[in-house]
C-alpha cells in the first residue's frame, strides 16, 4: 500500500517541509512540501535523499556488542542496558561521577527531547565531563551573547527579510542554509535583499556561494576578523557615528569599551586583514549609515573566537541595530527561551572547570580538544567510560587521531548511532537510534532563532526500523537500570507537578504540550481559546505561522541584572591583549580554511550514494600559489601543518585568495566497513589541526586560518 505523509527534514536548521511516500513500510520518495507554511516547496538534495540513510542496508538496527576479535554481535536491548548500566554504576562507585564522559553530537540538536535527556542523564550521573561539537562550532557565539546580553541563549538573529544591509562574516548560508538561525528558503531570501535594493556584503577568504549572490565581496586574511570588526567599531566611535541615544538608553560600560578599543586602528587592521584601510572605513560608515543593517557571523573557530563573535554582535549594538526591524532581533515567540534556559540550568558559564587545562564550561560543555587527554591522563577523575551519542569526534574534532588512539584505553565505550563510523568502530556497545522519519518531532532547539516565528509537529512517518529506539528512551532505560532519575535536575519542578495534576507521566510529548500551552501564545488549558497546544499543531501538519512582537522587546529579553547591554565584559581584556600580541603564528606561508558541500553534512552523509556523484573534496589553491609550487590541476600534493600532513588532490581556482587553501572537513580515510563510505575516502582536514590550540574563553578549536605548506608529490 502506498501512502503519503507530511513531515519535515531535521538535518539542518531550516527544517524544510517534506512529503514522504511510503510503500509497505519503506520510504520510497521524499518531495518538498509545497504547502509548508514557510519552506513552501523548498528542500535541498540532502533532505530529499535522507531516506537512503533510514533504509541503508548497513544501518545499525539492533544493539551490538563487540566480540574480543573486534567484530560485532547483535544482542537484546535488555542485555545491552543491563551490561552498560552495571558497568557505569561500577565505574561511578569506584572512581566517582567524572570518570563517566559524554560526547553529544550535532544531530542531538534536531530531535526535540534528545538534548534534554542527554544532559539530564549527565546531570543525574553528576559528571562535568560533557563534550560535543560546540567547541568546533559555536560556543563562542553563545559566550558572546552571555557577555553582552546576560544569557548564552539570547543570540540575536539577522532580520533577513527587512534589512537594508546584511554583512556576512565567516558564514556561507547559500550552502549551509543558515547557522544559529532558522531561515526557510534561505537562497531566495538572501537573493531578495539585493532585489529590493538592499546590500549583501560578504567577508570571506573564499569567493563563496554566498559571495556569488552578494553586492560586494571582500577577501580577508583568515582568522583576522576580530581586527576588522574592532577597527570598524573604533572608527564609528571616533567619527561619532555610533547610536549614542541607543547606547545611553540600553548600554552599560561605554567608557570601558572605548578604552579597550584604543589599539584597534584601521591602519593596523588593514595590515592584518589584507583589506585596505579605505575599504574598512567605507564599510564601517556604510553600515552605520544604512537605514537598517545587520552583521551575521560565526567567526568562532579561530584563535580568537570569542572576541571575534563578540565584536560581530557589538557592531549591531553600537549602531543601534539591535532589536530593530532589519537589524539583529530576538527570535523568541511561543516561549521565553532565556528564562527557560535559566530554569533548566542551561544558561551557565564557568560553572565548573576541566581537569586538564582548567577550561571553563560553556552551557555545561567542555572543549573537545582535551577529551583524548582526559581519557589518557592518569589521576582522579580520569575518564574511564564514555558515551558518544550522535557524534563522530575522531573525524570531526581537531587532532581526532589522538582520540582514536585513546578510545581503546577506555574500560567502556558506548555509541548511540545509526551507522558505523570512525569513532564507534572502537565501541564496546552500539545502540541503534531511530532516524528522523521514525520519530515524532518539533523544532524545539531553535525556538529563539526563528527568522519567521512558526511551530510545527510531525508524527513518525514509519515505525522504527528493526529495534531502533529514540535517544530519550535509551537514556530513560539506562537511568532506570542505574537507579537514577534522568530528568531530576532539568525539568522544572512546576512542570512535574503540573503534569501530575493532569494525570500525565513526565515524557516528551506532555512536556512539550505544557511548554506550548503555558507559554505566551498558549491556550492556557482552555483559558485562551485558539491558543497553541500540541493538539492544535497536530491538526496543522504543514506548520502554523505565529504573530509575535519581534522588536521593541529588548528590556524583556535582556538577562543582565541591570537590563542593559553589557558593552564590555572585563573577561575579554586578556584576550584583547593576546589579540594584539599574536601576529602571524609561524613560518608556514599558507592558511588553511574549511568548506562545506551542499551534498554532504559534516561526517555522515557519505553513505548516500546519490549525493556523492558531484562531491568535491579537493584542496582549492590560488593559481599563484599553485604556480610557485609547480602544481597543475588535479595534481597530488602534500599538505602539511605543524601537526601532521595529508595527501590531497589540488583544484586550482582564484575563488580563494592568494595565500589561502580550502579543504572540506568531515571526511576520513579510516575504514568503516561501509561500501559507499570506503569508496569515498578523502583526507581528514582535522588531522592537520592541533587539538591543544584551544581558545581560552570558550574552548574553541583552531580550524580556520591554520598555517600550512603545500608541496607537489612526484607523479607515479
By beta-carbon proximity to ligand SF4, the closer residue of 219 and 604 is 604
Q: Which residue number is nearest to Mo ion in terms of Cβ?
A: 137
Q: Does 707 bind ligand SF4 (CB under 6 A)?
A: no
By beta-carbon proximity to Mo ion, the closer residue of 7 and 176 is 176
Q: Residue 47 binds what, of ligand MGD, Mo ion, ligand SF4, none (CB under 5 to 8 Å, by partner type)?
A: ligand SF4
Q: Does 347 bind ligand SF4 (CB under 6 A)?
A: no
The least distance separating ligand MGD from the CB of residue 306, rounded to whole angstroms, comes to 14
By beta-carbon proximity to ligand MGD, the closer residue of 176 and 479 is 176
CA–CA dist 711, 505 (Å, integer): 62
The least distance separating ligand SF4 from the CB of residue 220, rounded to whole angstroms, comes to 26
Do the strands 412-417 and 26-32 form a parallel or antiparallel pair, or are they unpaired? Answer: unpaired
Q: Which of these, 113, 117, 216, lies nearest to 166 by C-alpha position? A: 216
The interaxial angle of helices 305-318 and 225-238, nearest 10 deg, is: 30
44-52, 154-162, 349-357, 588-596 -> range binding ligand SF4 (CB under 6 A): 44-52
The least distance separating ligand SF4 from the CB of residue 18, rounded to whole angstroms, comes to 7
Q: Which of these, 160, 222, 152, 149, lies nearest to 191 by C-alpha position? A: 160
User: What is 624-689 written as a DSSP string?
Assistant: HHHHHTT--TT-EEEEEETTEEEEEEEEE-TTBPTTEEE--SS---S--S-HHHHHS----GGGGS
The least distance separating Mo ion from the CB of residue 110, rounded to whole angstroms, comes to 11
Do the strands 165-169 and 294-297 form a parallel or antiparallel pair, or are they unpaired? Answer: parallel
Q: Which of these, 522, 342, 444, lies nearest to 116 by C-alpha position? A: 444
The interaxial angle of helices 573-581 and 305-318, nearest 10 deg, is: 110
The least distance separating Mo ion from the CB of residue 256, rounded to whole angstroms, comes to 33
Q: Does 12 bind ligand SF4 (CB under 6 A)?
A: yes
Q: Half-sphere exposure of residue 683, counting CA atoms within 13 Å on the CB side?
A: 23
Q: What is the x/- site pattern for Mo ion, positions 125-144, by CB under 5 A? A: ------------x-------
Contacts (Cβ under 8 Å, ≥6 apart) of 620: 206, 595, 651, 652, 653, 655, 656, 661, 662, 663
Of these, 43, 154, 385, 635, which contacts ligand SF4 (CB under 6 A)? Answer: 43
According to CB under 5 A, which residues from 57 to 116 bind Mo ion?
A: none
The least distance separating ligand SF4 from the CB of residue 48, rounded to whole angstroms, comes to 7
Of these, 6, 7, 16, 306, which contacts ligand SF4 (CB under 6 A)? Answer: 16
Q: How many beta carbons lie within 10 A of that of residue 630, not counting itself?
A: 10
Q: Residue 203 binds what, of ligand MGD, ligand SF4, Mo ion, none (CB under 5 to 8 Å, by partner type)?
A: ligand MGD
The interaxial angle of helices 225-238 and 277-289, nearest 10 deg, is: 60
Q: What is the x/- site pattern for ligand SF4, positions 174-193, by CB under 6 A? A: ---x----------------
Instruction: Give the interface with ligand MGD as residue ranges (CB under 6 A).
Output: 12, 105-107, 111, 133, 136-137, 169-173, 175-177, 179, 203-206, 208, 220, 222-223, 225, 298-299, 302, 389-393, 395-396, 416-419, 421, 433, 471, 593-594, 596-598, 600-604, 665, 685-686, 703-705
Of these, 44, 231, 242, 537, which contacts ligand SF4 (CB under 6 A)? Answer: 44
Q: Does 46 bind ligand SF4 (CB under 6 A)?
A: yes
CB 353 within 8 A of CB 361: yes
Of these, 11, 37, 108, 160, which contacts ligand SF4 (CB under 6 A)? Answer: 11
By beta-carbon proximity to ligand MGD, the closer residue of 140 and 208 is 208
The least distance separating ligand SF4 from the CB of residue 427, rounded to whole angstroms, comes to 27
CA–CA dist 4, 23 (Å, integer): 9
User: What is 261-295 written as a DSSP string?
Assistant: HTT--HHHHHHHH-S-HHHHHHHHHHHHHSSS-EE
CA–CA dist 1, 58 (Å, integer): 25
- Catalog residues that contact Mo ion under the rule CB under 5 A: 137
Q: By the criterion CB under 6 A, which residues form the site for ligand SF4?
A: 9, 11-12, 14-16, 43-44, 46-47, 177
Amino acid at each position: 500500500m502506498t501512502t503519503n505523509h507530511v513531515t519535515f527534514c531535521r538535518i539542518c536548521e531550516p527544517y524544510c517541509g517534506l512529503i514522504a511516500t511510503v510503500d509497505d513500510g519503506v520510504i520510497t520518495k521524499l518531495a518538498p512540501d509545497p504547502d509548508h507554511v514557510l519552506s513552501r516547496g523548498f528542500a535541498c538534495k540532502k533532505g530529499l535523499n535522507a531516506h537512503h540513510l533510514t533504509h541503508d542496508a548497513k544501518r545499525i538496527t539492533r544493539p551490538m556488542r563487540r566480540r574480543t576479535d573486534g567484530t560485532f554481535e547483535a544482542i537484546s536491548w535488555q542485555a545491552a542496558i543491563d551490561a552498560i548500566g552495571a558497568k557505569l554504576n561500577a565505574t561511578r562507585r569506584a572512581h566517582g561521577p567524572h570518570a563517566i564522559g559524554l560526547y553529544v553530537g550535532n544531530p542531538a540538536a534536531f530531535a526535540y527531547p534528545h538534548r534534554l535527556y542527554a544532559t539530564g542523564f549527565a546531570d543525574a550521573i553528576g559528571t562535568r565531563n560533557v563534550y560535543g561539537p560546540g567547541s568546533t562550532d559555536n560556543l563562542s557565539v553563545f559566550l558572546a551573547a552571555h557577555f553582552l546580553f546576560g544569557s548564552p541563549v539570547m543570540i540575536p538573529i539577522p532580520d533577513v527579510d527587512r534589512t537594508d544591509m546584511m554583512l556576512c562574516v565567516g558564514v556561507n548560508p547559500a550552502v549551509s542554509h543558515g547557522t544559529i538561525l532558522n531561515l526557510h528558503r534561505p537562497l531566495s531570501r538572501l537573493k531578495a535583499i539585493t532585489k529590493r535594493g538592499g546590500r549583501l556584503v560578504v567577508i570571506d577568504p573564499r569567493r563563496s556561494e554566498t559571495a556569488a549572490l552578494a553586492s560586494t565581496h571582500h577577501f580577508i586574511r583568515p582568522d583576522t576578523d576580530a581586527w576588522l570588526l574592532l577597527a570598524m567599531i573604533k572608527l564609528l566611535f571616533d567619527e561619532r557615528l555610533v547610536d549614542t541615544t541607543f547606547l545611553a538608553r540600553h548600554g552599560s560600560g561605554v567608557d570601558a569599551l572605548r578604552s579597550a578599543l584604543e589599539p584597534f586602528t584601521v591602519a593596523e587592521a588593514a595590515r592584518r586583514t589584507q583589506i585596505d584601510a579605505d575599504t574598512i572605513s567605507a564599510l564601517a560608515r556604510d553600515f552605520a549609515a544604512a537605514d537598517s543593517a545587520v552583521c551575521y557571523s560565526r567567526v568562532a573557530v579561530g584563535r580568537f573566537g570569542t572576541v571575534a563573535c563578540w565584536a560581530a554582535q557589538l557592531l549591531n549594538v553600537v549602531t543601534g541595530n539591535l532589536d530593530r526591524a532589519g537589524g539583529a532581533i530576538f527570535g523568541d515567540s511561543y516561549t521565553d527561551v532565556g528564562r527557560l534556559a535559566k530554569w533548566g540550568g542551561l544558561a551557565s558559564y564557568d560553572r565548573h572547570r576541566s581537569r586538564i587545562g582548567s577550561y571553563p564550561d560553556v552551557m555545561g560543555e567542555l572543549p573537545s580538544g582535551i577529551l583524548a587527554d582526559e581519557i589518557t591522563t592518569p589521576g582522579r577523575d580520569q575518564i574511564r567510560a564514555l558515551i558518544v551519542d550522535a557524534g563522530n569526534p575522531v573525524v570531526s574534532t581537531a587532532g581526532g587521531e589522538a582520540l582514536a588512539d585513546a578510545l581503546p584505553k577506555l574500560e567502556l565505550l558506548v555509541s548511540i548511532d545509526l551507522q558505523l563510523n570512525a569513532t564507534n568502530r572502537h565501541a564496546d556497545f552500539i545502540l541503534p537510534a531511530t532516524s528522523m522519519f521514525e520519530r515524532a518531532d518539533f523544532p524545539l532547539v531553535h525556538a529563539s532563532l526563528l527568522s519567521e516565528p512558526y511551530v510545527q509537529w510531525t508524527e513518525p512517518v514509519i515505525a522504527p526500523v528493526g529495534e531502533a529506539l529514540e535517544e530519550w528512551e535509551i537514556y530513560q532505560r539506562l537511568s532506570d537500570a542505574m537507579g537514577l532519575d534522568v530528568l531530576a535536575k532539568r525539568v522544572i519542578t512546576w512542570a512535574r507537578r503540573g503534569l501530575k495534576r493532569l494525570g500525565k507521566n513526565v515524557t516528551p510529548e506532555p512536556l512539550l504540550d505544557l511548554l506550548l500551552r503555558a507559554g505566551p501564545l498558549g491556550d492556557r488549558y482552555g483559558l485562551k481559546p485558539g491558543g497553541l497546544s500540541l493538539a492544535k499543531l497536530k491538526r496543522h501538519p504543514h506548520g502554523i505561522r505565529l504573530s509575535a512582537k519581534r522588536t521593541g522587546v529588548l528590556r524583556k529579553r535582556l538577562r543582565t541584572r541591570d537590563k542593559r547591554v553589557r558593552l564590555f565584559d572585563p573577561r575579554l581584556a586578556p584576550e584583547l591583549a593576546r589579540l594584539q600580541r599574536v601576529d602571524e603564528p609561524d613560518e608556514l606561508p599558507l592558511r588553511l580554511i574549511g568548506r562545506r558541500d551542499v551534498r554532504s553534512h559534516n561526517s555522515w552523509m557519505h553513505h548516500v550514494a546519490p549525493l556523492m556523484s558531484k562531491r568535491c573534496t579537493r584542496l582549492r589553491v590560488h593559481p599563484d600559489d599553485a604556480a610557485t609550487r609547480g602544481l597543475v590541476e588535479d595534481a597530488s600534493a602534500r599538505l602539511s601543518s605543524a601537526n601532521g600532513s595529508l595527501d590531497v588532490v589540488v583544484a586550482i581556482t582564484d575563488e580563494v585568495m592568494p595565500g589561502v587553501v580550502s579543504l572540506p572537513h568531515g571526511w576520513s580515510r579510516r575504514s568503516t566497513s561501509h561500501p559507499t563510505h570506503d569508496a569515498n575516502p578523502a583526507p581528514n582536514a582535522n588531522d592537520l589541526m592541533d587539538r591543544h590550540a584551544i581558545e581560552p574563553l570558550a574552548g574553541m578549536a583552531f580550524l580556520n586560518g591554520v598555517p600550512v605548506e603545500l608541496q607537489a608529490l612526484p607523479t607515479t
